Amino acid sequence: MIYHEDPRMLHIGTLPDHAYFIPFGKDQDAFAARVNSQYFELLDGEWDFSYYDSIIDIPDDFTDMQKCKSIPVPSNWQLNGYDKAQYTNINYPIPYEPPYVPDDIPVGVYSREYNYTPDGLRRILCLEGVDSCLYLYVNGVFAGYSQVSHHTSEFDITDLLHEGTNRLTVAVLKWCDGTYLEDQDKFRLSGIFRDVYMLSRPEKRLLNFRITAEPDSTFTNGVFRVSVEGSSAKIRLYDGKTLICEGDVSEDKPFECEVTDVKLWSAESPYLYSLEIETESELISEKVGFRKVEITDGIFKLNGKHIKLLGVNRHDSYPDTGYYADREKMLRDLTLMKRNNINAVRTSHYPNAPEFYAMCDELGLYVIDEADLETHGCVNVYNDLKWSAENAYNGIALIAKDPLFREAILDRERLLVSRDVNHPCVVIWSLGNESGYGENLREAAKLIKSLDSTRPVHYESTHKLDNTSDDVLDMVSEMYTSPDDIRKFLEREDEKRPFILCEYCHAMGNGPGDLETYHELFMESDRLMGGLVWEWADHAVILGYTADGKPEYGYGGDSGERHDDGNFCMDALCYPDRKPHTGLAEVKQVYRPVRVTRISADRFAVKNLLRFIDAGEYLTCSWEITYDGGKAASGSIDFSAEPMGCAEITIPEAAQSFERDAYIRFIFTAKNGYSVFEDGEEVCFDQIKIFTVEKKTVIFAGKAPEFTETPLRYEITAGDIRYVFNRRTAQFDAISKNGRDLLAKPMEYNFFRAPVDNDIMKNDWYSAHLNDYVTKVYETNISAEDGCAVIRVKQSFGWSIYQPFAKMTAEYRIGSGGELDIKCNSEFSNKVEFLPRFGLRLFVEKSFDTVEYYGYGENESYCDKHQGSYVGNFSAKIADMHEDYIRPQENGSHWGCTRMSVTNGNDTLAFSNPDGFSFSASEYTQEELAEKRHNFELVKCEHNVICADLAMAGVGSAACGPQLADKYRLPLPKISGRIKIVPN
């Protein structure tokens, strides 16, 4: 039997596909968790296990073996000491020669006992997910075969059972012809990775049922229908505990009733009715949501209103359990999404466990349900065969047009729709991901439409090798498209479909920096359906544990893979343990349900971006007016804003004038059980600057400080403050107060940052040597001017081989109070096309461990990533300011600061610039962050490192998305900056 190398043999001995449901006893609560059903027996737990590196090594009597080792089910064997994990993104993990796979296929043989007492009921073995395929044996007799990893396979094994102890054996192969269709970007793991259970069911039974629950054209009443296969039944529909309709259903007579004044389902208001289906011996339940999805005039609508999908892409990926997401893990993910104002999730790139959808129905999340399909590796296969720069990427369609795979692809679509069709949360079917386009995909879309006409079909990968039309797709989908190109789409005369960004804002490492830009664009046109951030959580494997018990996360290349794709699997909004990245705070804020704008001095408009509920009913609005150092006023205000409506509110205090720049911040907290939030929990905020003080140029007065001058140094003394300027290096070697050194090393210019994942141009920085330059000083002089000691410098920065990468003129003014005002102008050579930062670096003793600042906090913030932060007074311990990206990189910066000081409690270095600057304070040097592959390898610097950045570039999302927008880059070739340092 070599079913695993034959794409026409997909399932042997399996039961027909059907909607997911679990039967209960007639006296049971059919809405309870499935484990409570008297007909459900969970077979998870320790199974006997033997692992073979090659299928060729399996003994003939393998089903009969003595117990060898054991393994938890569900799990992946690579995470349990067998074989090894491999992270590969696009490239196939095996040689490309479909339908063949390598001769030495790794195999895991799972086995366990099963006790059977005949009771007239059939025994149906259900496996919800097995990667990549399985051969099933019962008491040593072949019982069936099935492939498609992310799908349920069901076998009626009754006839192979005998009374008493039986043995179930599942041989799981790491590769099969299905491997060519499952080339998703993930760790490649194998085994029985979802729940396994036995159902006891009568011979004549309900096999399938189909619900349709749609509102009428005026959205007043609902039409509810149930059709059945296999058995007739009684139908009861409840609204809460109230029975609202009931009747009989049979195979030839669907049940239908009207529900008056129907309450509709949406992500904002996920109202569910309860359905009971009662057969002769079973009770089956399902939740029912009334809603209508449609696309009219190029606009995607739910219940007659255009909605935006503000979503994320989610993989099943957990460092401890691999592909297995138990109920608790799924619920934690989904609740965290809702808590961050996310309303949609794409099950990238395969169907999730069946219970996932019931949770989305309950919580209110729009689901793009995706078939288990990706053939991305064809790109490199094709290019290897015939490179053609023009249409190289179209090679992705090799399998999409290959008749050999037609049935296998259709099978995946059929499985998807049949299992999940009854869930209101599923609003869009997705054919799969990155598999190119051809006849197979066209047929796939047609098949889905024939199975379900109530939902539109999505597919992104329309690259093709022939001219098969993609008119069967209901929306145009793209990933990582730049905002400009999306605007061009909107201008196209020939394209009337709506547009979705199925992936955008690649959240790898420190980022994304472009969420708000995209969001503003989404709001410009109803043709834009919104987008889904790539991706929800970092994928990682646990390599070991630190001394204090924290997992050491690894990525591609850490498991001794033959080939890997490094840290491209750590590109998400959450760390592997679901601790949020700062990027998630950006999402929460950008996806906020209300937005406030100022209309006049004391008038503000609260725009409700929700489509179905009055924001004022669910959100409490409080406000505060603050400035550097204090709060001027605060209060709270009632408002009412109907869906997509606007409330105008008056805050007289906002019209005052202030002595300093002042901001008003509106804080919206949940009430009346809004979404998953606790009452009183913050949902979002909005901050608006309401007063700007005219900036005065500081006039230095008084007598200039004393200075001395030697060929190698200047020494300047202002009261108890003393500066030592090194004329050879053009650096301040020392700044001291009362003889105590405030600097641990000379202060230096800094043009480098530990590259963030989006800094794809980082090699240019290294080749210019921004990170370890040498300096040439052409000229230094000192004079007394306007009550200051003024040092002027001309210098350059460079390295071997090339001309200097930058020239600079700088002016240092030291006033009689000991303050130092720095002004510098630089011109960079054409070696530097992108400058990450332009600033100063200071090393201070460890005792300087506390920072205070006025600027964007308390999350790290950058010029393009500060939605989740606001302007305020913050103070922090330096030890807590590090954002611990698994692959270390630049982090913890604070943008838009007008002042910052670092102190040891006694002495302080204060930095300021009324026009704003960025700073970071870290226990790690940028060199250390740049060099180490993992966070757990980082070694702290013997000093604390303060970077005062006159300018810091944005972070963007260029690792996979568009280049960083010009407005977030540093101006080149000429850049100038200013900052004041006050030691005291």
Distance CA 452, CA 439 (A): 20
Distance CA 128, CA 191 (A): 12
The interface region with Mg ion, picked from 56-64, 177-185, 564-572, 704-712 by CB under 5 A, is: 177-185
Measured at the CA of 350, the angle between CA 344 and CA 355, to 5 degrees, comes to: 65
The answer to whether the CB of 675 falls within 8 A of the CB of 627 is: no
| Residue 273 interacts with which of Mg ion, ligand GAL, none, CB < 5 to 8 Å by class | none
Catalytic member of 128, 276, 460, 503: 503
C-beta of 506 vs 980, nearer to ligand GAL = 506
Distance CA 418, CA 18 (A): 5
Catalytic member of 434, 586, 923, 928: 434
Binders of ligand GAL: how many residues, by CB under 6 A?
12
Q: Between residue 528 and residue 567, which ones bind ligand GAL under the rule CB under 6 A?
A: 534
DSSP, residue by residue, 458-490: E-----BSS----TT-SSEEEES--HHHHHHHH
Please tell me whether residue 376 binds Mg ion under the rule CB under 5 A: yes
Measured at the CA of 548, the angle between CA 544 and CA 550, to 5 degrees, comes to: 45
The nearest distance, CB 569 to ligand GAL, in angstroms, is 8
- Distances in Å between the alpha carbon of 805 and those of 361, 398, 560, 831, 838? 58, 47, 39, 6, 13
Residue from the set 503, 538, 821, 907 that interacts with ligand GAL by CB under 6 A: 503
Please tell me whether residue 434 binds ligand GAL under the rule CB under 6 A: yes
C-beta of 17 vs 460, nearer to ligand GAL = 460
The interface region with Mg ion, picked from 48-56, 99-107, 430-438, 973-981 by CB under 5 A, is: 430-438
Site string for Mg ion, 331-370 (x = CB under 5 A): ----------------------------------------
Please tell me whether residue 434 binds Mg ion under the rule CB under 5 A: yes
- Distances in Å between the alpha carbon of 354 and those of 55, 93, 146, 251? 31, 28, 18, 25
C-beta of 568 vs 854, nearer to ligand GAL = 568
Read off the tokens for 211: 């619900």
The nearest distance, CB 574 to ligand GAL, in angstroms, is 15
Instruction: Specify whether 617 is catalytic.
Output: no
Please tell me whether residue 570 binds ligand GAL under the rule CB under 6 A: no
Q: Which residues contact 834 (CB under 8 A, 6 or more apart)?
A: 761, 764, 765, 953, 964, 969, 970, 972
DSSP, residue by residue, 565-602: -TTTT--SSB-TT-PBPHHHHHHHHHT-SEEEEEEETT
C-beta of 369 vs 923, nearer to ligand GAL = 369
Distance CA 529, CA 523 (A): 9
The nearest distance, CB 539 to ligand GAL, in angstroms, is 10
Please tell me whether residue 860 binds Mg ion under the rule CB under 5 A: no
Site string for ligand GAL, 74-103 (x = CB under 6 A): ---------------x--------------
The nearest distance, CB 479 to ligand GAL, in angstroms, is 6
Closest listed residue to residue 705, CA positions, set 749, 735, 747: 735
The answer to whether the CB of 78 falls within 8 A of the CB of 85 is: yes
Closest listed residue to residue 574, CA positions, set 550, 532, 540, 548: 540
The nearest distance, CB 959 to Mg ion, in angstroms, is 14
- Strands 426-430 vs 457-458: parallel, antiparallel or unpaired: parallel
Please tell me whether residue 571 binds ligand GAL under the rule CB under 6 A: yes
C-beta of 195 vs 434, nearer to ligand GAL = 434
The nearest distance, CB 616 to ligand GAL, in angstroms, is 39
Q: Say how many residues make up the chain.
A: 984
Cα torsion 750, 752, 753, 754 to 10°: value is -130
Please tell me whether residue 503 binds Mg ion under the rule CB under 5 A: no
Read off the tokens for 272: 């569910």
Question: Cis omega before residue 512 (within 30°)?
Answer: yes
The nearest distance, CB 559 to ligand GAL, in angstroms, is 19
Please tell me whether residue 292 binds Mg ion under the rule CB under 5 A: no
Binders of Mg ion: how many residues, by CB under 5 A?
3
The answer to whether the CB of 194 falls within 8 A of the CB of 353 is: yes
C-beta of 571 vs 928, nearer to ligand GAL = 571
Please tell me whether residue 479 binds ligand GAL under the rule CB under 6 A: yes
Read off the tokens for 885: 């990206």
With CB atoms as reference, the residue minimizing the distance to ligand GAL is: 185
| Residue 334 interacts with which of ligand GAL, Mg ion, none, CB < 5 to 8 Å by class | none
| Residue 571 interacts with which of ligand GAL, Mg ion, none, CB < 5 to 8 Å by class | ligand GAL
Residue from the set 149, 152, 433, 867 that interacts with ligand GAL by CB under 6 A: 433
Distance CA 614, CA 297 (A): 27
Residue from the set 185, 452, 478, 759 that interacts with Mg ion by CB under 5 A: 185
With CB atoms as reference, the residue minimizing the distance to Mg ion is: 376
Please tell me whether residue 458 binds Mg ion under the rule CB under 5 A: no
The nearest distance, CB 250 to Mg ion, in angstroms, is 46
CA 153: distance to chain centroid?
A: 30
The nearest distance, CB 436 to Mg ion, in angstroms, is 11
The nearest distance, CB 434 to Mg ion, in angstroms, is 4
Measured at the CA of 849, the angle between CA 817 and CA 946, to 5 degrees, comes to: 65
Please tell me whether residue 428 binds ligand GAL under the rule CB under 6 A: no
The nearest distance, CB 377 to Mg ion, in angstroms, is 8
Residue from the set 17, 83, 185, 821 that interacts with ligand GAL by CB under 6 A: 185
Bridge partners (DSSP) of residue 135 are 145, 171
- Distances in Å between the alpha carbon of 511 and those of 262, 566, 574, 841, 981? 43, 18, 12, 23, 30
Read off the tokens for 3: 């079913």
Residue from the set 20, 21, 568, 591 that interacts with ligand GAL by CB under 6 A: 568
C-beta of 89 vs 281, nearer to ligand GAL = 89
Sheet holding 594-600, edge to edge: 594-600, 603-608, 646-650
Distance CA 956, CA 954 (A): 6
Read off the tokens for 60: 């003939």
The nearest distance, CB 563 to ligand GAL, in angstroms, is 16
| Sequence-distant contacts of 155-158: CB under 8 A, at least 24 apart | 155/13, 155/14, 155/15, 155/124, 155/125, 156/15, 156/122, 156/123, 156/124, 157/123, 157/124, 157/125, 158/122, 158/123
Instruction: Specify whether 434 is catalytic.
Output: yes
The answer to whether the CB of 147 falls within 8 A of the CB of 180 is: no
Burial of 527 (0-12, 13-18, 19+ CB in 10 A): buried
The nearest distance, CB 434 to ligand GAL, in angstroms, is 5
Site string for ligand GAL, 354-383 (x = CB under 6 A): ------------------------------
Read off the tokens for 839: 């600033």
Residue from the set 960, 964, 975, 981 that interacts with ligand GAL by CB under 6 A: 960
DSSP state letter for 281: S
Catalytic residues: 434, 503
Binding site for Mg ion (CB under 5 A): 185, 376, 434
Binding site for ligand GAL (CB under 6 A): 89, 185, 349, 433-434, 479, 503, 506, 534, 568, 571, 960
